[in-house]
Amino acid sequence: MVNATQATESSFITADLVKNSPTKTLTILGEGEYRKTDYGDKLVLPVEIDKKKKEWSINKDSAMNILDVYGEDTKTWLGKNIELKVIRVLGKDSVIGTPKK
């Protein structure tokens, strides 16, 4: 038997995923890349959360938090753990990441 629930999940880190996560912590698996979106180029990182491989389209607040601790080269971010929380901004849930101490 194959469990089909994974087919309903986003490949990206979402607010719902974080809300339902027992750990609320992700690990950065790769250097990432910039991708064009309707909102400009966005840094997307491969990550793992609760043994699930996902992609994280990092927002400005999270990037600033991580840059302050690990620097601007995403190579130095590899293997780092990031604590996630969901906040409400302008009526929309947003995921904010902070380096885990």
- The closest alpha carbon to 59, from 20, 14, 11, belongs to 14
Examine the pLDDT at 4 and tell me if it is beyond 90: no
For 95, the domain range is 9-99
Q: Is 3 inside any structural domain?
A: no
Q: Is 18 inside any structural domain?
A: yes
- Global confidence as pTM: 0.89
Question: Residue range 9-33: average pLDDT?
Answer: 96
Query: Looking at the 3D structure of the chain, how many domains does it have?
Result: 1
Examine the pLDDT at 2 and tell me if it is beyond 90: no
Q: Is 62 inside any structural domain?
A: yes
- The closest alpha carbon to 26, from 84, 85, 87, belongs to 84
Q: Is 2 inside any structural domain?
A: no
Write the CA distances from 77 to 18, 52, 87, 93, 101, integer angstroms: 20, 19, 23, 25, 14
Q: 37-70, pLDDT tens digit by residue?
A: 998 999 999 999 999 999 999 999 999 999 999 9
Question: Residue range 74-85: average pLDDT?
Answer: 97
Q: Are 63 and 7 in contact (CB under 8 A)?
A: no
For residue 101, the model assigns a pLDDT of 76
Write the CA distances from 70 to 20, 35, 51, integer angstroms: 27, 22, 23
Q: Is 27 inside any structural domain?
A: yes
